[in-house]
Amino acid sequence: MKSIFYTRFFILLPWILIVIIVIDIDTKRLSVRNTASFYLSRLGNVQQQRQVVRTTRSSSTSISSSSNSGSNATSLPVIYAITPTYSRAVQKAELTRLANTFRQVPQFHWIVVEDSNSHTELVSRFLTRSGLRFTHLNVFTPRRFKRTGMPRATEQRNLALGWLRGHRSVKDKGVVFFADDDNTYSLALFEEMRSTRRVSVWPVGLVGGRRYERPLVEKGKVVGWYTGWKADRPFAIDMAGFAVNLQVILSNPRALFKRRGAKPGMQESDFLKQITKVEDLEPKAKNCTQVLVWHTRTEKVNLGNEPKRQQDSVYIEV
């Protein structure tokens, strides 16, 4: 009797476990498909918001009375920096030093896209006080996409591209750049990218396990990539390594970052191949021989001594 019980138990238990795991995986796959179709359906007309996947979109734009609005500056193309961001201990610090850099860039428009269901108070307050021209958007990344090995900030970058397509026209002169919130930017970088006619590229420091990665240039044309990681990528370049003329974004309304089938490190290539070819890239930063942007990463903060219950007499935003 006992032996039969054990046999049955050992046969049934693992099968039950496997069924549970498989069901779990299947649900996740299913929702991936839903999101993909959601994005595809969104391409043409920007309308369907709440569906199977709950996505909130809201936006607010503020044009501050910037000191850069002089008559000389306004003839310059506007630099639209798209910055995805999410709540974490270092968020305000990162945004602070980013704003300190961006404040010195003439004709600058910051598109900040939060990974959240609504504008957070912290980011709203921060942007209002930043002294920068900004647009504040938000879209929540479904939890199933927040895993190791999955590309990050896809929804946020695509929402920003959608905003540009909805609010800018053929009359507007601009350059679009993807400025992650923990990288380090020199001011010179922005002057390099400002003359982008279609898609420009340059080296990025501290990326791919190397001191830098860069496009290899011969006779003013990109002919290859100096990289230590996945050298077979069509565009072996980091998100911080290129800028796109606003008109290229507008004239390629279906060009987006992919979620379906996207592999880590392939986001840039997947996007760029929709809008350009390697031979058409415009090398900047002295034929791609200067590092003007660094792929810095900030350590996750140790909050091990944070008291469980609020022990301080006041609430302080950090």
User: For residue 314, with 0-12 CB atoms within 10 Å meaning exposed, 13-18 middle and 19 or more buried, which class applies?
Assistant: exposed
Q: Is residue 21 part of the contact set for a copy of itself (CB under 8 A)?
A: yes
Out of 1, 305, 308, 309, name the contact with a copy of itself by CB under 8 A: 305
DSSP class of residue 214 equals E
3-class DSSP assignment, residue 74? helix
Counting contacts by CB under 8 A, is residue 1 touching a copy of itself?
Answer: no
Nearer to a copy of itself, 58 or 229 (CB): 229
Which parts of 117-156 interact with a copy of itself (CB under 8 A)? 148-149
Judge whether 268 counts as a catalytic residue.
Answer: yes
Under the binding rule (CB under 8 A), the answer on residue 61 touching a copy of itself is no
> Which listed residue (94, 155, 213, 268) is catalytic?
268
The residue (of 63 and 187) whose beta carbon lies closer to a copy of itself is 187
- Binding window for a copy of itself (CB under 8 A); candidates: 15-23, 78-86, 110-118, 160-168: 15-23
Q: Of all helices (H) and strands (E), which one includes residue 82?
A: strand 78-85
Which is closer to a copy of itself, CB of 59 or CB of 68?
68
Q: Which of 56, 62, 96, 274 binds a copy of itself (CB under 8 A)?
A: 96
In sequence order, which ranges of 140-258 are alpha helices (DSSP H)? 154-167, 187-193, 246-251
Binding test (CB under 8 A) with a copy of itself, winner from 121, 232, 279, 317: 317
In whole angstroms, how close is the CB of 153 to a copy of itself at the nearest point? 18
Binds a copy of itself (CB under 8 A): choice among 92, 173, 221, 273: 92
Q: Is 301 in the site for a copy of itself (CB under 8 A)?
A: yes
Q: How many alpha carbons fall within 13 Å on the CB side of residue 13? A: 6
Does residue 63 bind a copy of itself (CB under 8 A)?
Answer: no
Q: Considering only residues 218-277, where is the footprint of a copy of itself by CB under 8 A?
A: 226, 228-229
Residues β-bridged to residue 295: none
DSSP, collapsed to helix, strand or coil, labels residue 125 as helix
Distances (CA, A) of 153 to 62, 222, 271: 23, 27, 13
**Closest to 129 in 3D by CA, of 83, 169, 88, 95:** 95
Give the residue with the Cβ less far from a copy of itself, 155 or 213.
Answer: 213
User: CA-to-CA distance for 170 and 159, rounded, in angstroms?
Assistant: 19
Residue 281 near residue 225 (C-beta atoms within 8 A)? no
Residue 15, phi then psi, degrees to nearest 5: -65, -40
Measured from the CB of residue 169, what is the shortest distance to a copy of itself in angstroms? 32
